[in-house]
Structure 1
């Protein structure tokens, strides 16, 4: 049975951050769809709303489900929104799920601190872009460095998106997830704080921590992340009933 991989980007970036994964999957003959959330990438002019984000993911997932199985992959903010989506009261047609760099509850002091830091960067020349570029130049490999920001950076959507995450009921959503799930974090990811809790709440979940890697695990270690996707696809294949014999 055919499988489509649907990928959801993190805050400020866009669908282009998944180019290494899209190339890898298409090289294997597997359909891959990377979406732009409202206010990001090709949709930079739109306001960000959670309703719009959920709608974007749902349309991509249901379109893919018409062709076969669906592996949903989300990073950072995209991972948090996807967690809420996969664990919704009405189960969507998702057959397996990879949640990267998103094992933290976006509420309280931690969220407020992040928003304050982001606003501080916004007040710097060019909204802090020179500092971000300097960090990315020294942490991302050449093969993904250009991809990460190729769709532009959604500075205007950032605070609205961060604020909206506080209404997610992730603990309830996690308890409802009933598909094979992989939580993937970099060793030095600031959002690892609740990784053991998240993993314990999803019966079919595994935790993968990538050594010497930051929050940007998909771009910093693209081959490792591609291998995780391959594991998920192999797990889905193993769980599918065998094709009927032609004899």
Structure 2
């Protein structure tokens, strides 16, 4: 469905079911250089199990009007405007990579509206290699190749997808290439610049789940510890789960395990 946010069109995927604000709402926030389609499997899983799914294309991504926003805080404010536009007073947030930082920032500024917080492939701070940011600015193909190399395990790089003739990395490269020029660079710079994660995590009042890929090269489980420590000592407390064999692209490499982990936490 489409919705006007700040007088600009926003594309929202609802998991193949009509949006019903009377159901418990789950907002799925994608990462850098992506759009809602990375959540297709998880969105359908939740939508067919009684949840009102909201998987937006962030500004300038996918089918949403631009321009892209250039900071985590501005993206978090935009998500709050999205909730207002949908008439949602209580939601659970799920974010992947850059989306996890946005979800954390939303939970910090609108804590009374958040029932559960699920951070997938997340660390805070989230430094980005300077060579990747530079490649995103000057050589998108090279940047996409670097992201694919770091996002997928060797099995995932070779694995088949549901689309005949396409690999997971091939689909991801096509998805990133579909985004407007400059979007990936803006996203990566926003991740690199945001430094408020640990401060906000210490005061999160809702239950939080951190989901890590065992073989994630971009946000490895060992790097999650500062964020986990901040969250576990907050009033909402936190749990951490490691998905065996998965890399950073958990939605594609371990779709069933991730979908089940999200749903089980929401009902716990």
The answer to whether TM tops 0.5 is: yes
1:35-184 paired onto structure 2 within 5 Å = 35-43=56-64, 45-50=66-71, 51-62=73-84, 66=88, 69-88=90-109, 90-106=110-126, 110-111=127-128, 114-120=129-135, 123-124=138-139, 126-127=141-142, 129=144, 138=157, 142-143=161-162, 145=168, 148=172, 149-150=174-175, 152-165=178-191, 166-184=193-211
Determine the C-alpha separation between the residues in 2 that align with 1:233 and 1:194: 25
Structure 1 stretches of 4+ moved >3 Å = 60-66, 120-137, 143-151
Contact kept, 8 Å, 2:27 with 2:94, in 1: the verdict is yes
Count matched residues.
Answer: 228
Aligned position for 2:13: none
- 1:128 shift after superposition: 5.2
CA deviation profile, 1:12-50 (whole Å, cap 9, x unmatched)? 011111110111112213211101222321236413233
Structure 2 gaps of 5+ residues are 1-21
- 1:122 shift after superposition: 5.7
Aligned position for 2:4: none
TM-score calculated relative to the size of structure 1: 0.78
Greater displacement, 142-151 / 43-52: 142-151
Contact kept, 8 Å, 2:33 with 2:183, in 1: the verdict is yes
- 1:125 shift after superposition: 7.7
Tell me whether 1:186 sits opposite 2:213 in the alignment: yes
- 1:91 shift after superposition: 2.3
- 1:147 shift after superposition: 6.9
Q: Relative to 1, partners in 2 of residues 1:230 and 1:77: Cα closer, same or farther, differing over 3 Å?
A: same
- 1:231 shift after superposition: 1.1
CA deviation profile, 1:113-146 (whole Å, cap 9, x unmatched)? x232242366558455567679867256514848
Match of 2:230 among 192, 195, 201: 201
* Equivalent position SS for 1:227: helix
The structure with higher relative contact order (CA 8 Å, sep 6+) is 1
- 1:207 shift after superposition: 0.4
CA-atom RMSD in angstroms: 3.0
Instruction: Point out the structure with the larger helix share.
Output: 1
Structure 1 gaps of 5+ residues are 236-247
* Equivalent position SS for 2:69: coil
Determine the C-alpha separation between the residues in 2 that align with 1:202 and 1:129: 32
Determine the C-alpha separation between the residues in 1 that align with 2:209 and 2:181: 29
Determine the C-alpha separation between the residues in 1 that align with 2:93 and 2:201: 15
Contact kept, 8 Å, 1:4 with 1:69, in 2: the verdict is yes
Contact kept, 8 Å, 1:16 with 1:147, in 2: the verdict is no
Contact kept, 8 Å, 1:188 with 1:214, in 2: the verdict is yes
Contact kept, 8 Å, 1:87 with 1:175, in 2: the verdict is no
